[in-house]
Every structure is written in structure tokens, then in C-alpha cells.
Amino acid sequence: MRIIIAIDIIGGKCVRLTRGDFNTTKVYSEDPLETAKQIEDSGLKYLHLVDLDGAKNKRMENLNVLEKIAGSTKLTIDYGGGLRTADDMKRVFNAGARQVTAGSIAVKDPGLFLKWLNEFGGDKLILGADFKERKVSASGWLENSGMEITEFISGYVVKGVKYVICTDIGRDGMLRGPAVDIYREILAGVNVNLIASGGISSVQDIIEMRDIGCEGTIVGKAFYEGKVKLKELAELC
């Protein structure tokens, strides 16, 4: 299983939110590149880089952070937040991302998402499936789509999606454990590489995600708050 560390960006700084609420923004580092180098030095290989400004404002605003990290580390990076066109996708790949995560577009413009999927392929385009109380959210978690999470994912998997980052917004940043039952339910009904996100609070949580069959687990606040150590995570890989 891949262990993926999250770096969320607002104003060029490394931050975390609680339950997707921008009013809870807490800055953990003024220099995301320094944090990325710590991740790489620990032996971990994967980074989930999110432009929260871009997600909120519907345009990419922190592409320079991706360029710096990709140019100075060998981390395998997936990037999301604010992408709206195929040109945006190309810019992100040219800046050094290995994969792109698209959530809001998949919710609000399925035709465009499927066009990207056809052009760039399922190995490069990750479906971002963020949910609260089983309903999919979009636009930096500010909009409830009303779509049920499992149906949303399965509908795209039959059209070629291979990877899904599935985030329980209600658990994100709460350090109270992941949505095990929902992830187990998704994996029982959908053949997809599921990357769990939201609520991870301990190494044991990560082991549980591995044991139920998740392809990856994203770790954010638990690392920044010292609940898990990078070296501990590297030993699980």
C-alpha cells in the first residue's frame, strides 16, 4: 500500500483545515519545499499536493509550489485544485506532477472529466471523491452535490477510472479514525484502486486501511501534529 503525505497550500504556505472549513486554517510551515524534503529524507516516496486557493477560487494559484518541489525532490506527486481546462492539466504535468486529481470537474462537468480521462488516461487522472454523510462535495468542499458516494465512484470506474482518492470531509483533520465501513463497502462493490483520506490518527489506522484493501492512504494532520512519525510510516512501506 502506498502511504502518501498531504501538503495543502494556501498563500504558498503549508496548512491544514478541519472538516474542510477555511476558517480553521492552521499554518504548519512557511516553506512547503522544506516539508517535502523532510518527507523524501524519511524514505517516503509519495506526495498529495493540493492547491486550496485554486479549489476555492476555481483557478490554479500555487503551481509554483509544485514546480519547486518537483524540481528539488524525487517525490512522486499528484496535484489537485483549480484545474479547469486540458491546458491546465498539461501545465501541471509539465511542472512535474505524475498524476492529477480532479474532483469538482467530475461532479459539475462529467463530459469534460471524461474527455480528460480519454486524453490523459486512467493512470494519470485520479478521481477525487470527497464526501460528507455519504454525499459527494465539490469546489473545495463548499458545495454538496447530493450524489451518493459509492454510486458516484462506480459510475466513473465503468468509464475507465482506475484511481480514486476518497475523503470523508466530516473526519478530515479530526484525528478520530477513517471511515472504515464506507471504504470497505466501496471496495466490496467496485473494482478500483482506492486511496483513503480523512481522519487518520495513528499507525494502526493505516494498517487497517491496508488490511481492508486500500491501494493507498493519505496522511495529513496526524503527521503535522506529531501523532505519527515519518520514519514509522516509511517502515510500513
The CATH number that applies at residue 91 is: 3.20.20.70
168 catalytic residue (yes or no)? no
Q: Does the structure show a pLDDT above 90 at 58?
A: no
| Catalytic, out of 8, 53, 88, 172 | 8
| Catalytic, out of 88, 130, 168, 205 | 130
Q: Does the structure show a pLDDT above 70 at 90?
A: yes
Instruction: Give CA–CA dist 13/62, Å, rounded.
Output: 10
Give mean pLDDT, residues 12-38. 94
Q: Does the structure show a pLDDT above 80 at 140?
A: no
Global confidence as pTM: 0.94
Q: What percent of the chain has pLDDT over 90?
A: 87
31 catalytic residue (yes or no)? no
pLDDT for the residue numbered 145: 67
Give mean pLDDT, residues 180-197. 97
Place 25 in a pLDDT band, splitting at 50, 70 and 90.
very high
> Which domain range does residue 176 map to?
2-236
Give mean pLDDT, residues 140-157. 84
- The structural domain count of the chain equals 1
